[in-house]
Amino acid sequence: MSHAREHSHPLVYMIIASAFILAISLGIRHGFALYMMPMSEQFHWNHQVFSLAIAMQNLIWGFAQPFSGALADKYGSRIVVAVGGLLYTLGLVVMAVSSTGLLLNLSLGLILGFALSATSFSTLLSAIGRAAPPEKRSMAMGIASAAGSLGQFIMLPSTLLLIEHWGWSSALFISAILSILILPLAYWIKSNKIPTTKATSSTIPQLGFKQILQIARHYRPFWWLSLGFFVCGFQVVFLGIHLPGYLIDHGFDVKTGTIFLALVGLFNIFGTYGAGWLGDRYSKPKLLMALYGLRGIAIVLFLICPLSTFSVYVFGMVMGLLWLSTVPLTNGLVAQMFGVQYLSMLSGIVFLTHQVGSFLGGWLGGLNHDLTGNYNFIWIFSIFLSMVGVLVNFFVKEESALHEKN
């Protein structure tokens, strides 16, 4: 009982601070899609210019994530998150004065990619995972993840209003001011002290960094899980960046796409919280299979039903429930496989595959549109990937890789 009290208050503070950081970081990030049309029109860019910068951001974010995670595991998440907050502010300021594709790739792609690797899920949820007892870990991660969705719900319409009334450059400067709040919030991301009990200390071996990496390299369920996260990255970035443009191509205005993304953010609050709650009670791999399968069904129904404002909004609600519900389940599985000592780094490796998918979803969406004038091929490929997501998670084991090795 005293042990529970010892960790309850730091955990609550970490969840609240992480929730606000994710709301700011992911809320601003999800609004980037709204800058594509005004910036492209002003500087006479085709869709590929902005899509490539977004794709580069996701790729840099993914490749930097294991290293950000390793630094957080070694030196603590607090300093990593604070540095990420500084980079976030710098990236937004540079983006606000970007007038060429090179500057856009430097700011939106490179700097903000590094910033997101330090201020998003892998770093923050791993810190929470270390502080939370195993039986409440998925729930704690789900609560913090839901806050990122709340940020998306709030920031998307706010960003649209700022762009409409003040222009895209001023909107970015205002977002940069907001991102400064990440620095004081990082103070509440406490040390990486791992709660231990007699049960955990006697059954889980304490291994070094290189030993854990060696086990992970040969543990196939870890890579099946990673491949499933590739599917998630491809689908959410394709929809997040290109669905507003898809709707404009079909005669809708920009507000319809913004409301779609806001609904995704709103309903993802319930989706991520529900996934965290369910993940503590039922099989995480089976839940992931259901999520990917339902995504595919939702996309098929959206495409075959008559396109209307109503169908767009219903699609936003359904996809919101399925959007980032994969995150607490995936991070929870990594913790079950390898423990929490190197959770940031190992979650970062899994997240790298997510971001490779994100890169392809963002870039190929723009390329497909520029070459054909539509998104037909990417829609079909997204449906195919849903089937892949169901299949690969069938081979994911909900057990410790360390026990199997030893």
What Cα–Cα distance (Å) separates residue 29 from each residue in 23, 24, 26, 215, 262?
10, 8, 5, 34, 13
What Cα–Cα distance (Å) separates residue 268 from each residue in 76, 138, 272, 309, 359?
29, 16, 6, 20, 22
Contact 131, 14 (CB under 8 A): yes
Per-residue confidence band for 205, with pLDDT thresholds at 50, 70 and 90: low
219 part of a folded domain:
yes
- What is the pLDDT, as a whole number, of residue 241? 82
198 part of a folded domain:
no
CATH number where 23 lies = 1.20.1250.20
197 part of a folded domain:
no
Per-residue confidence band for 199, with pLDDT thresholds at 50, 70 and 90: very low
83 pLDDT more than 90: yes
Residue 23's domain spans which residues? 2-192+206-405
Average pLDDT over residues 323-342: 83
User: Residues 362-398: pLDDT tens digits?
Assistant: 888 888 888 888 899 999 999 999 999 999 999 998 8
158 part of a folded domain:
yes
3-state secondary structure 91-141: HHHHHHCCCCHHHHHHHHHHHHHHHHHHHCHHHHHHHHHHHCCHHHHHHHH
Average pLDDT over residues 107-136: 85
199 part of a folded domain:
no
Between the two ends of the chain, the Cα-to-Cα distance in Å is 32
Structurally, the chain folds into a number of domains equal to: 1
- What is the pLDDT, as a whole number, of residue 287? 95
Q: Is 97 exposed, middle or buried (0-12, 13-18, 19+ CB in 10 A)?
A: exposed
Average pLDDT over residues 265-269: 86
201 part of a folded domain:
no
pTM metric for this prediction: 0.76
- What is the pLDDT, as a whole number, of residue 406? 46
What Cα–Cα distance (Å) separates residue 323 from each residue in 67, 195, 304, 351, 384?
26, 31, 21, 15, 17
